[in-house]
Amino acid sequence: MVAAKEAIIAIKDHDSRRPPRKVLRIMASRDGSYSIWSPYHPAATGLLYKGRLSPIVASIPYAVPAEISEQHRVDVPVKLSLHASGFVQFSAVGRSKVRSGRSRFLVPKGLGIQSQDILNPIETGPTWMATFFELSECQRVDGTEKAPIIQFGDQDFFERDDHDLEGRHVYMVEGFVLPANLRREARFGGSGWVINREYSTIRPDWVMDFRVVELPTSVAFLGIVVSLLHGPRDLHRGYMLGGPKDIVTGHTLQGFFPLPDPVDPDRNLPSLEYVSEPVAPVAAASRLANVYRRTRCS
């Protein structure tokens, strides 16, 4: 089993002449929290949503929420962070700064929701997904990678629809949080450690192999599936990150990268990037006076 704080998901498409492409990085921490993002795609901008998906299009990986409660643009790299507590948010990558975290009353400072925690994993479908609309845009596997690579090939894809010669291949990486007691069902095969099980409680007829990715915790691990879909030729490029639903509001998070071009000029999109607010001179003077007063009284 892959048991590391980092793992790389790579995809080798149906054409044997083309090299595999790195699409997604998973980084985990000791409590079972983890993040997903794609440092292997050149997109430098993105459009982030919080909203509800229509039940009719919820299974379509490129569907925009029918009811949008918040939307932001970003011009710095971001990742989808999934905490062991169930808190899910878009957060910064590296030295970039975006509004994230929660306030004293657990209200998200940026774009976040509260989903099910790691001890109560989602059973009706994936916890997250990452959809790639044009595989050739991602970096090739070149042998310099330091993190373990989990590669999916033509024989590993779960095909959700019929082949359409007029359409374009769309690859959807789906991540499921699985309880620790299922580890005993894992077996080692030609593709590595896998567990064969139903897709979800609402689709028990879909039975497939999940690739096992261990988290640095004893309570759960990840099962990864790559689904193959066929989208229209004029489908936008880039990739999408999507998270689970909020346990109260039903809102979900989605991010499309790069920012759609052109963006509707009537939409004045707020940025999610963090901007420090200058301290007003009067307020600063008042704070210094209070400090001085406490010093004299001590």
Q: Given this model, what pLDDT does residue 231 score?
A: 73
Q: Given this model, what pLDDT does residue 234 score?
A: 67
Q: Given this model, what pLDDT does residue 32 score?
A: 92
Each residue's pLDDT tens digit, 159-197:
876 665 556 788 999 999 999 999 999 999 877 899 999
Q: Given this model, what pLDDT does residue 53 score?
A: 73
pLDDT greater than 50 at residue 47: yes
Q: Given this model, what pLDDT does residue 182 score?
A: 94
In whole numbers, what is the pLDDT of the chain averaged over residues? Answer: 83
Residue that wins the pLDDT comparison between 79 and 67? 79
Q: Given this model, what pLDDT does residue 18 score?
A: 85
pLDDT greater than 60 at residue 291: no
Each residue's pLDDT tens digit, 56-71:
444 555 555 567 888 8
Residue that wins the pLDDT comparison between 286 and 5? 5
Q: Given this model, what pLDDT does residue 295 score?
A: 45
User: In angstroms, rounded to a whole number, what is the distance separating the alpha carbons of residues 216 and 192?
Assistant: 18
What pTM did the predictor assign?
0.84
pLDDT greater than 60 at residue 210: yes
- Mean pLDDT throughout 245-270? 79
Q: Given this model, what pLDDT does residue 239 score?
A: 94
Each residue's pLDDT tens digit, 120-138:
999 999 999 999 999 999 9
Give the confidence band of 282 by pLDDT, cuts at 50, 70, 90.
very low
Beta strands in the chain (DSSP E): 2-3, 6-11, 21-28, 34-37, 46-52, 67-74, 78-82, 87-92, 112-114, 128-132, 149-152, 158-159, 168-179, 187-189, 192-200, 203-214, 220-231, 239-245, 252-257
Q: Given this model, what pLDDT does residue 190 score?
A: 78
Q: Given this model, what pLDDT does residue 138 score?
A: 96
Contacts of 42 (CB under 8 A, 6+ apart): 137
- Determine which of 31-45, 109-123, 282-296 has the lowest per-residue pLDDT on average: 282-296
Each residue's pLDDT tens digit, 82-134:
999 999 999 988 877 888 888 877 788 888 999 999 999 999 999 999 999 99
- 269, with CB counted inside 10 A (0-12, 13-18, 19+), is middle
User: In angstroms, rounded to a whole number, what is the distance separating the alpha carbons of residues 197 and 186?
Assistant: 10
pLDDT greater than 80 at residue 278: no
